[in-house]
Amino acid sequence: MTEAVLDQTENATRSRHSEAPLTVHPLSAHIGARIDGVDLRAPLPAAEVAAIRAALLKWKVVFFRDQHLSHEQHIAFARQFGAPTVGHPVFGHVDGFPELYSVGKHRKANRFEGQAVQRPWTGWHTDVTAAVNPPAASILRGVVIPPYGGDTQWTNLVAAYQALSEPLRGIVDGLRGVHRFTPPAGASATDEFARAVRSRALVSEHPLVRVHPETGERALYVSPSFLKHLSGFAPRESQQLLELLWEHVVRSEFTVRFKWEPGSIAFWDNRATAHLAPTDIFDLDFDRQLYRITLVGDVPVGV
């Protein structure tokens, strides 16, 4: 691209942004905000990158509407906030786009028989906490969206920590837990998903309370889907305490629910949130296709 064309593109971008200044609209008391007045298809001015980052750190997940990005534009947007990881450490990536993970209605992770016992925290998780350095953030883009159903929920793990009693905070501050990426209940030995997970096992130990590297906030780092037991505890002790904490972090006042539309984007801080993917879509005949990018994170640090 010539210098003249670059100048024209930058001028058009500045003009576009000056017409509709970026605004942040909180969606609940503790988590979630919608950001308007920004076009994510083009490189963002430094001030807008900073504003989006500040909103992300404050509200933990931010949402954008009417952002019909290509795969290339999705990747370019993500790179303004960090280095993308490979699409998924176990299930790979979209052909030709190693940064992208396809979140389709019938992706491998959903193909298993049987049904696990359902509890209030079932399905809630923080992305890939079984990795040594779990992703810092995730950016999910909606492409094919059902006319109803398929909402995603997020919870604020910082607010959940702060709501614990002082004696319990004193206990959990010093604990560590083992995170493991395992096949879901009901997966058979011949299941393709189960075989993939077993061939690329991820197991890590992390602090139960994570100190956020940018804000210094303490988050209750207890991903229900991946945290399997507390280090040094008897099995019964571990299970009782974890179930108490899992039930606590998904309390409704810590959460926000997002209704997807084509062109919607959700950008969340994976260090301070857990989220719940929808299951009602399997009771509908509509297709659903999203694409996710995760950003390289650091090794969690405890209190």
The Cα–Cα gap between 158 and 60 comes to 9
Confidence at residue 55, expressed as pLDDT on a 0 to 100 scale: 98
The identity of residue 209, as a single letter, is V
Question: What's this model's pTM, rounded to 2 decimal places?
Answer: 0.87
**In order of start, what are the domains of the chain with their CATH numbers?**
16-295 (3.60.130.10)
| Predicted pLDDT at 190 | 44
Q: How far is CA 144 from CA 35, 105, 259, 287, in A?
A: 21, 10, 13, 7
Q: Which residues on neighbouring strands pair with residue 180, listed in sequence order?
A: 203
pLDDT of res. 197: 53
| CA–CA separation, 64 and 218 (whole Å) | 27
Instruction: Output the pLDDT for position 90.
Output: 76
pLDDT confidence of residue 54: 98
Please tell me the distance from the alpha carbon of residue 95 to that of residue 107, in angstroms, as a whole number. 15
Q: Each residue's pLDDT tens digit in the chain (303 positions)?
A: 444 434 444 444 444 444 679 999 999 999 999 999 999 999 999 999 999 999 999 999 999 999 999 999 999 999 999 999 998 887 788 899 999 999 998 754 444 444 567 889 999 999 999 999 999 999 999 999 999 999 999 999 999 999 999 999 999 999 999 999 875 544 444 445 545 555 667 899 999 999 999 999 999 999 999 999 999 999 999 999 999 999 999 999 999 999 999 999 999 999 999 999 999 999 999 999 999 999 999 999 999
CA–CA dist 197, 150 (Å, integer): 25
How many CB atoms lie under 10 A from the CB of residue 178? 16
Q: What pLDDT sits at residue 195?
A: 57
Greatest Cα pair distance, the chain, in angstroms, is 68
Nearest to 199 by CA among 108, 110, 73: 108
Catalytic center residues: 125, 127, 275, 292
**The pLDDT value given to residue 110:** 47
What is the pLDDT at residue 88? 86
In b/e form, how buried is each residue of 198-214, taking b as 16+ CB within 10 angstroms?
Answer: eeeebebebbbbbbbee
